[in-house]
Structures are given as structure tokens and as C-alpha cells.
Amino acid sequence: MREIRKKKSTAELLRELRKTGNATKENLWKKLADRLSKPSRKEKNVNIEKIALMAGKNKGKILVVPGKVLGKGDITEAVTVAAFSFSETALAKIAAAKGKTMTLNELIESKTKSKETIIVL
């Protein structure tokens, strides 16, 4: 099972996203910061079934979820997903499909270009 990493606080993450957006001039980071700064009741939770659908349409791209990935549905192909958080079921299903998961902090550190990503809402 995946080791649990210590998360940065949401405020620190928002600062990092905006800082990265200003430094790179890419809208991806600013869009993610705007989505995450909304109240948690408006947070977007995305199920594995939607991840599987988006993965089929966007091969080779990193799917970015500005919320939580939940475990409803099945996924059969390897996909890379970056999200604010994951349920245990979602982590297990992505790992079983030989996919990769990362936090938004790890996405920032990877210096990914916006053309390599798709925001899943």
C-alpha cells in the first residue's frame, strides 16, 4: 500500500500554486489555485470511472483533480493522476491498473508543463 505522506497545509499549497503560475506564466497553476480556494463544500470529487473515461481520451497526459479522487468505478489502463487527496479505494484501483498517483505538491515539484496535463472536473 502507498505510504502516507505529510501534506502541506492548503494555504501553503495555494501560495505555491500561485507562485509557480506567476513564475511559469502558465494558467494551469492559477486555475488549480482558484479551484482549491473555493469552500470545501464546493470541492470537486471525481470518481475512478470518470478518470478512466478521461484517460481514454487523453492518452499520455497527467490527469489533475483539484479535489479528491474517489473509488467508484473501475479502471483498466495505466494512468497518472495528480490530486489534492485520494481515497484508499481509489489508490488501490489506480495501483492495480499499474497507474501512478501524485499529490499536487509533487506535481508542482515535477515542473510539468500545462500542455502535458488535463484538469478533470
Q: For the segment 47-59, what is each residue's pLDDT rounded down to a tens digit? A: 999 999 999 899 9
Query: Do residues 86 and 101 lie in contact, with contact meaning Cβ atoms separated by under 8 Å?
Result: yes
> Which residue blocks in 10-74 are alpha helix, DSSP H?
10-24, 27-36, 48-57
Does the domain spanning 41-119 belong to CATH 3.100.10.10? Answer: yes
Model confidence, pTM: 0.87
Domain residues of the chain, as ranges?
A: 41-119
* Average pLDDT of span 13-40: 89
Q: 82 pLDDT exceeds 90?
A: yes
